[in-house]
A and B are shown apart, each in its own frame.
Chain A
Amino acid sequence: MDNSLLGIFQYVDDLLAAAEKCKKSGYGITIISPVPLVHEIEHTFGESKNPVKYFTGLGAITGYLFGTLFAITTSILYVLPRSGRPIIAIPPILLISYETTILLGVLFTLMGFIVLALAPSFKAKEYDVGLAIDSFGLLVDGVRENKFGDIEKVMREYGANEVKRIEKK
């Protein structure tokens, strides 16, 4: 059985140092924090991938095509001329597709975020109330029973206030 170990830190540099150490030992780590540590983590571990952009791009392109085709087809489906203008008038099409590009871009980005970031953790348990307020957690996954002691020792060494064992059901 693989279990996880959660160390709770007060200072971010402590946490990052411990995280670096654990990662070098080959464990999967997750950092839980009440504030974004994007820059600090990138500084330590290098830049991570950004898969949301594919959703955004897809949404924007879909939106543009949708807007253009929608405006063209609906004007042709029921032809009613107005003001001596052509049935397929280009400026409105550009405007409509501009708006739909943004609309679908935003919605797809949101969807991408939900799929990528939130959906995997729908069922995960919260580990500590403090992690949402003022302490920082280092979650080490895939720790064998007999290695608990070692990891805990590393965390304590780097200044963890508390180390918890999380047992998976």
Chain B
Amino acid sequence: MDRTITYKEASEDISGIITKTGWKYYAVLTLMAVSAVSFLFLPWAYQIYSGQGVTGLNAPVFWGLYLVNFIYWVGIAHAGTLISAMLYITQTPWRRAIARGAETMTFFALFLVSLFIFVHMGRPWNFYWTMPYPNQRQIWTNFTSPITFDVFAIGTYTTSSIVFLFFGMIPDLASLSHTATGWRKRLYTALSFGWRGTDRQWHLQAKACMFFGAFIMPLVVSVHSVVSWDFALSVVPGYAKTVFAPYFVTGALLSGFAGVLLMLSIMREAYPVMKKYVTAYHYDKVTIFVVVLSLIWSYLTLMEVVTGLYANTSQEIEHLKYKLAISPFSYLFALMIFSNSVLPLLYIFKKLRNSFFGRFIIPVFVLIGMWLERFLIVPNSLSRKFLPWMWHDYSPTWVEYSIPIGALFFFISMFMVFIKVFPIIAIFEVKEDIGIPMRKSH
């Protein structure tokens, strides 16, 4: 971190991201919003109107692209909380400039997660039946169901992430409320809850953050392992694997870190002022994490295949054959291995870390590779279930392709709106990073 930046400069730079808006921003936002409506909401309305029949789902492949994207976005959501929670507990200095961005990503990724649950369901208007609440029917939810686990885990995760994100933002909002005008001033004043920055408040804030971190870190592990139990608790070959919980968690973190890298790179291009705060130093640190996670992921992928082979039941073998040896999927598998195991290793070269290749290309490949991982697990295992009479090849329809793409546009447009309202870099943490002004330098 550049120690010559003054506090005032930092404040102005970061509030500048919020207030200085050019025509390009509006152009891109309009484009994104229009795409989101036309790719996501209109097809979704069509699907709700005419039923799940418009998808390519079929017996026995009942879990298709929607569920793939559901898991994928849960995964993307993971890095944000991990960066902010785990690195907060260990007081790692490089988290400060990037944590807020990562948390924001988590927040909106979780938004998409709930969206995909709704898209996936046959009768989304009855969604509230999965919530345990006292009702006149006197019937509750089934606590042995992994879907109920999901409801609890993702509900907790969403709540905690929102709390963590907005809690960390209180000092910044208070600081912004002094310079802002109009509706912003009212919003910031309301959301800063009377924060003044007294020593007592700072002290309690640090302690509370520590507790949040301590709670959220195990939550990160639990959420994706719960999601993995949606699969691992079944008997389907390719799903029923004990390695799934760590496998999913690692994969989630890998894709999440790649997502953070890509998001930071794009933000830096869009707002050059961010280059002052997110520097080569941060890329160094995050990419090391990507390398480590990629190595763990590679090991677990190997184990997933090997445990299937060692089980040596005809169903497992059939499933592995389908996944590894049949034409489209074998290429996808190769692409997945290439982009998740091979490409991230290039980060070992220090020069690559902060190059265009390292900032954009590798993260994009990792994100695609992680999507493929979920794709190769979810519908593929169902295509070759037990009874050969029912074997069925899954081919998604345009609705299933369109909705996830539209969801991505929706994610981007929400993110763009967010950065115009809330500071995307934590102002006080950046100031902390710059150093506290002392007369006697030591």
Which residues of B (138-182) have their CB < 8 Å from a CB of A? Answer: 138-144, 148-149, 152-153, 155-156, 159-160, 163-164, 167, 170-171, 174-175, 178-179
Q: Is B132 an interface residue (CB 8 A)?
A: yes
Q: Which 10 A-B pairs have the closest CB atoms?
A: A134-B7, A74-B140, A132-B175, A11-B439, A31-B199, A122-B194, A36-B202, A117-B204, A103-B156, A99-B152
Q: Is A114's CB under 8 angstroms from B199's CB?
A: no
Given known A70-B132, A103-B160, A134-B11, contact A95–B226 (CB-CB < 8 A): yes
The 7 listed contacts between A and B (C-beta, < 8 Å) are: A38-B206, A53-B211, A106-B160, A109-B208, A113-B204, A121-B195, A129-B178
Which residues of A (105-152) have their CB < 8 Å from a CB of B? Answer: 105-107, 109-110, 112-114, 116-119, 121-124, 126-127, 129, 131-134, 139
Interface string of A43-57 (1 = CB under 8 A from B): 000001011110010
Q: Is the interface of A mostly helix, strand, loop or mixed?
A: helix
Q: Is B410 an interface residue (CB 8 A)?
A: no
Q: Which of A12, A70, A126, A134 is within 8 Å of B178, CB to CB?
A: A126
Q: Is B27 an interface residue (CB 8 A)?
A: no
Q: Is A30 an interface residue (CB 8 A)?
A: yes
Kindly list chain A residues whose C-beta atoms are within 8 Å of the C-beta of B163: 106-107, 110
Q: Is A100's CB under 8 angstroms from B198's CB?
A: no
Interface string of A61-92 (1 = CB under 8 A from B): 00000000011001101101011010001001
A103 to chain B: closest residue by CB: B156
Tell me the smallest distance from the CB of B300 to a CB of chain A, in Å: 22
Q: Is B193's CB under 8 angstroms from A118's CB?
A: yes
Q: Is A32's CB under 8 angstroms from B198's CB?
A: yes
Q: Is A98 an interface residue (CB 8 A)?
A: yes
A residues with a Cβ closer than 8 A to B are: 10-14, 30-38, 40-41, 48, 50-53, 56, 70-71, 74-75, 77-78, 80, 82-83, 85, 89, 92-93, 95-96, 98-100, 102-103, 105-107, 109-110, 112-114, 116-119, 121-124, 126-127, 129, 131-134, 139, 159
Q: Could you say which of B11, B171, B199, B204 has the most chain A C-beta atoms within 10 Å of its C-beta?
A: B199
Q: A29 to B179, alpha carbons, bound, how many Å?
A: 27
B437 to chain A: closest residue by CB: A11
Q: A105 to B439, alpha carbons, bound, how many Å?
A: 41
Q: Please report the total number of B residues contacting A with Cβ < 8 Å.
A: 61
Tell me the smallest distance from the CB of A12 to a CB of chain B, in Å: 5
Given known A99-B152, A99-B153, contact A34–B141 (CB-CB < 8 A): no
Kindly list chain B residues whose C-beta atoms are within 8 Å of the C-beta of A36: 202, 205-206, 428, 432
Tell me the smallest distance from the CB of A62 to a CB of chain B, in Å: 14
Kindly list chain A residues whose C-beta atoms are within 8 Å of the C-beta of B141: 74
Q: Is the interface of B mostly helix, strand, loop or mixed?
A: helix
Which residues of B (56-79) have their CB < 8 Å from a CB of A? Answer: none
Q: Is B212 an interface residue (CB 8 A)?
A: yes
Which residues of B (193-217) have their CB < 8 Å from a CB of A? Answer: 193-208, 211-212, 215-216
Q: Is B144's CB under 8 angstroms from A83's CB?
A: yes
User: Tally of A-B residue pairs with Cβ under 8 A?
Assistant: 184
Tell me the smallest distance from the CB of A39 to a CB of chain B, in Å: 9
Q: Which of B215, B218, B437 is within 8 Å of A12, CB to CB?
A: B437
Q: Is B204's CB under 8 angstroms from A52's CB?
A: yes
Q: A52-B211, A102-B160 are in contact. List 11 more A-B contacts (CB 8 A).
A: A12-B438, A40-B436, A41-B199, A74-B143, A89-B143, A99-B149, A106-B216, A107-B159, A132-B178, A133-B11, A139-B198
Kindly list chain A residues whose C-beta atoms are within 8 Å of the C-beta of B179: 129
Q: A159 to B437, alpha carbons, bound, how many Å?
A: 13
Q: A115 to B438, alpha carbons, bound, how many Å?
A: 33
Kindly list chain A residues whose C-beta atoms are within 8 Å of the C-beta of B395: none
Given known A31-B199, A112-B208, A129-B179, contact A14–B439 (CB-CB < 8 A): yes
Q: Is B197's CB under 8 angstroms from A132's CB?
A: yes
Q: A158 to B138, alpha carbons, bound, how many Å?
A: 70
Given known A36-B428, A99-B222, A106-B160, contact A93–B143 (CB-CB < 8 A): yes
Kindly list chain A residues whose C-beta atoms are within 8 Å of the C-beta of B156: 99-100, 102-103, 106
Q: Is B3 an interface residue (CB 8 A)?
A: no
Q: A35 to B163, alpha carbons, bound, how many Å?
A: 21
Q: Is B19 an interface residue (CB 8 A)?
A: no
Tell me the smallest distance from the CB of B110 to a CB of chain A, in Å: 14
Interface string of B429-442 (1 = CB under 8 A from A): 00110001111100
Which residues of B (223-277) have their CB < 8 Å from a CB of A? Answer: 226
Q: Is B6 an interface residue (CB 8 A)?
A: yes
Q: A103 to B152, alpha carbons, bound, how many Å?
A: 9
Kindly list chain B residues whose C-beta atoms are within 8 Å of the C-beta of A89: 143-144
Q: Could you say which of A70, A77, A82, A98 has the most chain B C-beta atoms within 10 Å of its C-beta?
A: A98
Given known A52-B207, A103-B156, A132-B175, contact A126–B215 (CB-CB < 8 A): no
A113 to chain B: closest residue by CB: B208
A131 to chain B: closest residue by CB: B197
Q: Which of B159, B195, B202, B203 is within 8 Å of A50, CB to CB?
A: B203
B200 to chain A: closest residue by CB: A117
Q: Is B219 an interface residue (CB 8 A)?
A: yes
Q: A123 to B196, alpha carbons, bound, how many Å?
A: 11
Q: A107 to B212, alpha carbons, bound, how many Å?
A: 9
Kindly list chain B residues whose C-beta atoms are within 8 Å of the C-beta of A110: 163, 167, 208
Q: Is A106's CB under 8 angstroms from B212's CB?
A: yes
Q: Is B197's CB under 8 angstroms from A82's CB?
A: no
Q: Which of B149, B152, B202 is within 8 Å of A37, CB to CB?
A: B202
Q: Is B8 an interface residue (CB 8 A)?
A: yes
Q: A1 to B163, alpha carbons, bound, how many Å?
A: 40
Q: A1 to B68, alpha carbons, bound, how many Å?
A: 67
